[in-house]
Amino acid sequence: MTAVAADPCGVTLDEACREWLDERFGDKPGTYRQYELTLRRVSAFLGAGERDLAIVSGQDYFRALKALWGQRAAATWNANRAAVSSFLKWVRVLAEYADVKLPPRCTSRTVDQDDTKAVDREDLDVLWEPETAPLRERALWRSMYDSSSRAKALLKLNIPDFDPKRRRARVRVKGGGIKWLHFGELSTALLVELIGDRTEGPIFLTDVRPWNWRDRDRADRGPGDRCRLSYNRAEEIFKATTTALGFSGDEVTFEFLTLHQLRHSRLTHLSEDGTDTPMLQQISNHKDPRTLHRRYTKPSSAAVARHLAAIDKKDVERRRSMSRQRPAQARPRTRATRLKSRPIRR
């Protein structure tokens, strides 16, 4: 059993959570929200928001983790477990509020590496066709692929941030930094057509006015009270479209394709084309090259097939060349032919 502090520390769980989040992620609003959501759900499950921090034991946190994420994917379990573990380490070591830690059996889980997320270039071409989806969706999808950007970063784009002449846009990326996203000829043309004669507001807007448009920030509104397209809605449309494009038999299937796989596929294709690690880091905004190599720079299925086909073709040509150069000679006698030629003893 995990040790529990004998005396109250005078700080509630909710107060400690807010203090830790402000101290650790005050300058990273995106990360702040993710960790806040995890701790808020744990606190609500335990009903311990107003209880003294020292009274909540490590077993209590473990029980909450199992109930909330015990049946979820290994990556989801690990992410939420890591958030709680990081918070308790701060409580124990830095803030010195209470000596609470997760029990030893609350361990991380092994994540099965999926090497099939990169989609072949030829299979992605159908997504850019005019008959596949409306202009807005095609502009978003192709922009994600060309720039290797995350969908959330692209959806934050405003019209003044986009420079069509230089095919780039200034955007705030994950972690709070600001960088240039670079687009290709097709994605730039689609974005220009989507913007039309508008001069301000979000690039990607909803089709109709949402029910809560009055509560939206003024910067997230466009003409006709349409608002900035949300990530959840963009993902929903993408999944519906790619599911409808699902193939059977020998063709590739899009049934489980996600928006992030456009970014994943682009980085894999760039790696196959010989792009070096520093350039890939700059394009993808990955600070740790190990993450880049572990997830994105593995050759795709199509690249492996092409590589093996080329080797097999060379091997066939080599054997044909050897057979042409070999002089005609008597067929060598094998053990089987020698046995047949022996006289039968009676």
Cβ contact 152:31 at 8 Å: no
Cβ contact 77:85 at 8 Å: no
Ranges of each domain in the chain: 13-94, 121-295
Q: Which of 31-40, 159-168, 266-275 has the highest mean pLDDT?
A: 159-168
CA distance 264 to 119: 8
Summarize pLDDT for 67-79 with one digit per residue, the tens. 999 998 888 999 9
Helices (H), 178-259: 185-195, 231-244
Distances in Å between the alpha carbon of 259 and those of 180, 181, 220?
20, 17, 22
Q: Which of 123-137, 235-249, 290-304 has the highest mean pLDDT?
A: 123-137
Residue 175, sorted as left (phi over 0), alpha (psi -120 to 50) or beta, turns out to be left
Is the pLDDT assigned to residue 163 strictly greater than 90?
A: yes
CA angle centred on 148, ends 37 and 33, rounded to 5°: 10
Q: What is the separation, in whole angstroms, between the first and last Cα of the chain? A: 86
Comparing 4 with 200, the larger pLDDT belongs to 200
Distances in Å between the alpha carbon of 62 and those of 80, 295, 314?
11, 29, 58
Sign of the Cα pseudo-torsion (35, 37, 38, 43, in order): positive
pTM, two decimals, is 0.69
Residue 114 pairs with which residues in a beta bridge? none
Q: What integer is the mean pLDDT of 215-221?
A: 85
Helices (H), 90-224: 121-124, 135-147, 151-155, 185-195
Q: Which residues of 157-189 are buried (b: 16+ CB within 10 A; e: fewer)?
A: bbbebbeeeebbbebbbeeeeebebbbeeebbe
The H or E element containing residue 162 is strand 162-163
CA distance 158 to 154: 9
CA distance 221 to 241: 26
Summarize pLDDT for 96-141 with one digit per residue, the tens. 888 888 999 999 988 777 666 788 888 888 899 999 899 999 999 9
Comparing 48 with 106, the larger pLDDT belongs to 106
CATH class of 121-295: mainly alpha
Is the pLDDT assigned to residue 25 strictly greater than 90?
A: no
pLDDT tier at 4, thresholds 50, 70, 90? very low
Q: What is the DSSP string of 97-124?
A: S------TT----PPPP----SPPHHHH
Cβ contact 120:300 at 8 Å: yes
Residues 6+ away with beta carbon under 8 Å from 216: 210, 227, 228
